[in-house]
């Protein structure tokens, strides 16, 4: 029994170190955040980072800003596809995100939920909100955990907090949870 317990401890440590090593290697990507072995979000990766993403096993890139956003890579779609990864873009207006935007993103994710995916925008603000919603609604991550992860990048207010509340409530979830103090996020 002691041997099995020790073995499991070694496996857990190895997996944790493996995840942190990946985050270190991808650390050059603005606000990179790994949620699981198959789902991460970030700000805009530099052109050279897409090859690294491919080498790290990413199979899909989902971009939720506009191609003409400041710092965007105008041919990102072609670059990603030429590397053999799937590419999807769901342009979300910064000051007017909608439930339809999130639903479109979720449909992309659900089209191949097993694909290792990087979700990104320019700074990982839009992306962390969509990641929170997706993780809660589709991956059964507790809201408090998803919100805590999001808050490591930013604390949304205004239209973004409203969007979170609308999508959660429309899907039968309350935005209230232990540790979820939305009012302090202003």
The predicted structure's pLDDT at residue 181: 85
The predicted structure's pLDDT at residue 9: 45
What angle, rounded to 10 degrees, do the helices at 126-138 and 158-170 form? 10
Q: Which one, of 131, 170, 176, lies nearest residue 149 by Cα? A: 131
The predicted structure's pLDDT at residue 15: 44
Provide, rounded to the nearest whole percent, the portion of the chain with pLDDT above 90. Answer: 80
The overall average pLDDT reported for the chain is 89
3-state helix, strand, coil in the chain (%, to 5): 50, 10, 40
Q: Which residue has the higher pLDDT, 172 or 9?
A: 172
Q: Which residue has the higher pLDDT, 167 or 19?
A: 167
Segment 123-134 shows an average pLDDT of 98
Segment 106-121 shows an average pLDDT of 98
What is the pLDDT confidence band of residue 149, given thresholds at 50, 70 and 90?
A: very high
What is the pLDDT confidence band of residue 14, given thresholds at 50, 70 and 90?
A: very low
The predicted structure's pLDDT at residue 1: 52
Q: Are 43 and 29 in contact (CB under 8 A)?
A: yes
Question: Measured in Å, how far apart are the chain's first and last C-alpha atoms?
Answer: 51
Domains and CATH numbers, the chain: 25-173 (3.90.190.10)
Per residue in 48-96, pLDDT tens? 999 999 999 999 999 999 999 999 999 999 999 999 999 999 999 999 9
Distance CA(113)–CA(62), nearest Å, equals: 13
Which tokens in the block code for residue 67? Answer: 């191609």
The predicted structure's pLDDT at residue 87: 98
CA dihedral 185, 131, 31, 50 (to 10 degrees): -160
Q: Which one, of 124, 116, 113, lies nearest residue 63 by Cα? A: 124
Q: Which residue has the higher pLDDT, 87 or 17?
A: 87
């Amino acid at each position: 029994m002691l041997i099995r317990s020790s073995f499991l401890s070694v496996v857990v440590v190895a997996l944790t170190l493996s995840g942190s090593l990946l985050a270190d290697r991808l650390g050059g990507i603005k606000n990179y955040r790994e949620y699981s072995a198959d789902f991460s979000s970030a700000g805009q990766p530099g052109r050279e980072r897409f090859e690294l993403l491919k080498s790290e096993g990413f199979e899909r890139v989902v971009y939720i800003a506009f191609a003409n956003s400041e710092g965007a890579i105008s041919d990102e779609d072609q670059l990603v596809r030429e590397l053999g990864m799937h590419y999807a873009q769901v342009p979300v207006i910064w000051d007017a995100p909608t439930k339809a935007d999130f639903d479109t993103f979720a449909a992309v994710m659900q089209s191949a939920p097993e694909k290792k995916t990087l979700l990104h925008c320019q700074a990982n603000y839009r992306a962390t909100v969509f990641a929170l919603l997706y993780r809660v609604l589709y991956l059964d991550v507790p809201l408090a955990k998803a919100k805590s992860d999001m808050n490591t990048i930013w604390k949304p207010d205004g239209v973004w907090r409203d969007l979170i509340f609308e999508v959660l409530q429309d899907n039968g979830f309350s935005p209230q949870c232990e540790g979820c103090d939305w009012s302090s996020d202003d």
